[in-house]
Amino acid sequence: MPLSDQSLDRLRALVDDSVADQKKGIPGVTVVVVGKDGKDLFAHSAGKQGITSEQPMTLDNIFWIASCTKMLTGVACMQLVEQGLLSLDDGEQIENLCPELKDLKVLRSDGVLEGKKNRITLRMLLSHTAGFGYTFFNERLRDWSFPAGIDEFSSRIEDVTQPLLFQPGEGWEYGVGIDWAGIALERRTGDTLNTYLQKHVFQPLGLKNISMFPNEDMRAKLAHMHARDPDGTLRPRDHLLRRPLVVDLGNEKEIASVFNSGGAGLFAKPQEYTKVLAVLLNNGTCPITGSQILLLNLWAQVEVEVYKALSQ
């Protein structure tokens, strides 16, 4: 059902107002609302590509979609579950694919490391119940990592190989577990996560501006990153996920050295990401191309896991 002209005008005004203060507001923004039919109900950009840029923010700009990557990694893994190539609850399978998980320790609240008692399953990795965290959210994990620290955006697998915060399956913590789900997918299929997503998710949906390795055109249109000082003033900063933006796209060896982060690795045009959301609104089938990327019963399982995770 289309939005009324009055609603569209109000939405545009809200978006425009959000970028009015370029010192303490938002430099630039794109807002897209998609309908179940896959068509945009609302799409509007305002502001600039960055506070040091003279380029206006437009609907053609690219954003680092960060943790929005997690949903797409989940879809890809559920495709393999559907095909019988991965099991949601076979911990032996996951730890054989990812032997790094076998000997992980659990970092207790008193700072002592203890042995892992349970095997880690794909279901745990996808639902944030395996025990992994993020150092920028969890002080215990952050303090343990000193003095060198951990950079989950370094594009190195070593930085997601970290202690657990509880025994697998016995708690909930937002963290790098879905990065490990992506690693399991890579080792099961022989494809990189980016390659798999392109072949089995993005291409069937007709998406061309979404990738873990932005091409030169996407790089030129990338929204800048900023930091906010204590007084609220914005300042430019280096990109958190830098390596995919500077890697030589003609050097396959260099590209292969960059970890494909299933938890935060994708860059995309917002309208392309919302096209995936429309697929999920239609139980795994694209309303535009008719491509089915997940079966109904598998999507029902995904919804159950989401609700269970949110309730913890």
293 neighbors 79 (Cβ within 8 angstroms): yes
Q: Which amino acid is at 114?
A: E
For domain 63-270+289-311, say whether CATH 3.40.50.150 is its number. no
pTM (2 d.p.): 0.93
How many angstroms separate the CA atoms of 247 and 71, rounded?
A: 25
pLDDT band at 299 (very low <50, low <70, confident <90, very high): low
- pLDDT, one tens digit per residue, over 168-193 is 999 999 999 999 999 999 999 999 99
Looking at residue 2, its pLDDT comes to 86
In the chain, pLDDT over 90 holds for what percent of residues?
A: 91
pLDDT for 310 beyond 70: no
Q: Does 36 participate in catalysis according to the annotation?
A: no
- Of the candidates 150, 94, 149, 85, the one whose C-alpha atom is nearest the C-alpha of residue 120 is 94
Alpha-carbon separation of residue 250 from 20, 48, 104, 253 (angstroms): 40, 30, 36, 9
191 neighbors 80 (Cβ within 8 angstroms): no
- Of the candidates 145, 173, 174, the one whose C-alpha atom is nearest the C-alpha of residue 161 is 145
- pLDDT, one tens digit per residue, over 13-55 is 999 999 999 999 999 999 999 999 999 999 999 999 999 999 9
pLDDT for 285 beyond 70: yes
- pLDDT, one tens digit per residue, over 193-226 is 999 999 999 999 999 999 999 999 999 999 999 9
Q: What is the mean predicted confidence (pLDDT) over 246-267?
A: 97
pLDDT band at 92 (very low <50, low <70, confident <90, very high): very high
Strands 40-47 and 28-34: antiparallel
Task: Please pick, among 24, 67, 208, 257, the residue that the annotation labels catalytic.
Answer: 67
Q: Does 67 participate in catalysis according to the annotation?
A: yes
- Of the candidates 70, 282, 90, the one whose C-alpha atom is nearest the C-alpha of residue 177 is 70
Task: Please pick, among 48, 70, 269, 275, the residue that the annotation labels catalytic.
Answer: 70
pLDDT band at 1 (very low <50, low <70, confident <90, very high): confident
What are the start and end residues of each CATH 3.40.710.10 domain in the chain?
Answer: 63-270+289-311
Q: What is the mean predicted confidence (pLDDT) over 99-110?
A: 96
Task: Please pick, among 18, 102, 145, 174, the residue that the annotation labels catalytic.
Answer: 174
Q: Does 70 participate in catalysis according to the annotation?
A: yes
